[in-house]
Amino acid sequence: MTSDRRSEDLISALQRRGADVLHAPALKIAPNDQDTALVDETRALIEARPEVVLVTTGYGMRRWFEVADATGLGAQLSEVLESARILARGPKAVGAVRAAGLEEVQVSASETTASLVDAVETSGLTGRRVAIQLHGYTDEVQLARLRDLSAAVWTVTPYRWVKPTAHDRLPKLIEATCARQLDALTFTSAPGAEATLAVARELGRLSEFVDALTDDVLAAAVGPVTAAPLQAAGAVVLMPDRYRLGALIRLVTEELVQHRVLRLRSGSTELELRGRAVAVDGLPVKLGPNSLALFTALAGADTVIRRQELQRCLPDGADDHALEVAMSRLRQALGVPGLITTVVKRGYRLNAVRV
């Protein structure tokens, strides 16, 4: 999981469904009590009294008023916004606007900054003094477009993205993804997705990372804005129909259960590979990292796998001896006679069929 905000909610929801969660925030939100820029931006907006205000996120709107109230600017901000025409981006932004005692005049067609700028252009609001509440990630293209359409533009950024203090966690997550040690990777913000790709590029593993997200590791994003950087890099990304955290959790759960569980039969024995969990006739079997990597490789193949290929599957790399030790431990742990056959001078084959 790459998110910071609401990470506890996402982690606990996935853990309740039996998941082991590796949490490596790509970015975190800077505390507003350390951000004097927001106060300065709010004062400038109050003095400017914009005719049109674009609200992009519910969280940003709430945080904006929290800081304004704490610095004694809340009443003045409310008075200025009451006299402006407010355009909101999606239901969360609408909810925050109404919670502040204000009323929007229009809701954008989709939850994108581009749709808000479209609304300015199509609603006869061009040539006005406009303010826009940004959301930690500035869409410079749309901001430039808004400036072209407006007499003047003021920006307010209630929260900003900064790098997390634990710099080693995200590289570890990327390494685990490339090694196919994860079943799914979730993204809840476009800046977080871009930061993850940037670190993968710095590590020289961007191509491997994208390849992993295209086949073995499920990439799931909360919506199209978040998914865009990943898709531009070539990754395959799933998104829920509703762009909400709860819908993302359901999507990941259902996708892993319905399409990412491998069921096999060898004679009268039934085996199941569910991520890193293996069961034989319904009973869980504990496998070490090397044995699990071998079983995953054998289970995913319909033919003999050469020894060299299996060696490359081992997490830490290995020689012939290490491969033989790991294979012996795998056979003992599974306890199914004849399940894994040694093919002389070639490799190994799993004697099982998918069900």
pLDDT digits (tens, 9 = 90+) for 176-192: 898 888 889 999 888 88
Choose the most confident range, by mean pLDDT, from 57-71, 119-133, 241-255, 264-278. Answer: 119-133
Burial class (CB in 10 A: 0-12, 13-18, 19+), 303: exposed
Q: How far apart are CA 291 and CA 327, in angstroms?
A: 7
What are the distances in angstroms from CA 37 to CA 27, 74, 150, 166?
A: 19, 16, 23, 25
> Is 7 in contact with 15 (CB distance < 8 Å)?
no
- Please state whether the predicted TM-score (pTM) of the whole model is above 0.85: no
Please check whether residue 64 is in contact with residue 38, taking contact to mean a CB–CB distance below 8 angstroms. yes
Q: Flag whether pLDDT at 34 surpasses 80.
A: no
**What CATH topology corresponds to 32-159?**
Rossmann fold (3.40.50)
Output the average pLDDT for the chain.
88
Q: List the one residue out of 305, 292, 310, 315 whose CA is nearest residue 175.
A: 315
What percent of the chain is predicted at pLDDT more than 70? 96
Domains 32-159 and 261-354 share a fold: no
Confidence at 168, pLDDT banded by 50, 70, 90 = confident
Separation between Cα atoms, residue 61 and residue 93, nearest integer Å: 7
Residue pair 175/22 in contact (Cβ under 8 Å)? The answer is no
The answer to whether residue 341 scores a pLDDT higher than 80 is: yes
Write 147-151 long-range contacts (CB < 8 A, 24+): 149/117, 149/120, 149/121, 150/52, 150/120, 150/126, 151/127
Cα 344 to Cα 122, 300, 308, 315, 335, distances in angstroms: 72, 21, 14, 24, 22
Ranked by mean pLDDT, the top range of 6-20, 102-116, 153-167, 204-218 is 204-218
Sheet containing 52-55, strands listed edge to edge, beginning at the edge strand earlier in sequence: 106-107, 85-88, 52-55, 129-133, 152-156
Q: Which CATH class is domain 261-354?
A: mainly alpha
Three-state SS at 305: strand
In angstroms, the CA 41 to CA 285 distance is: 58
Q: Which residue has the higher pLDDT, 326 or 319?
A: 326
Q: Which residue has the higher pLDDT, 154 or 110?
A: 154
What size, in residues, is the chain? 355
pLDDT on residue 318: 66
Say if residues 163 and 235 touch (Cβ distance below 8 Å).
Answer: no
- Residue 351: per-residue pLDDT: 93
* CATH among 3.30.200.20, 3.40.50.10090, 3.40.50.1970, 3.90.76.10 for 7-29+163-259: 3.40.50.10090
What pLDDT does residue 32 have? 55
* CB crowding 309-328: b at 16 or more within 10 Å, else e: ebbebbeeebeeeebeebbe
Domain limits of the chain?
Answer: 7-29+163-259, 32-159, 261-354
pLDDT at 258 (0 to 100): 79
Note the pLDDT of residue 54.
Answer: 96
Question: Is residue 35 over pLDDT 80?
Answer: no
Buried (b) or exposed (e) across 103-138, using 16+ Cβ within 10 A?
ebeebbeebbbbbbbbbbeeeebeebbbbbbbbbbe
pLDDT in tens, 91-138: 888 999 999 999 988 777 677 788 899 999 999 999 999 999 987 666
Collapsed DSSP state (helix, strand, coil) of residue 108: coil
Angle, in degrees to the nearest 10, between helices 169-178 and 190-202: 80
- pLDDT-derived band at 44 (thresholds 50, 70, 90) equals very high
Over range 254-275, report the average pLDDT: 86
Residue 136 has what pLDDT?
63
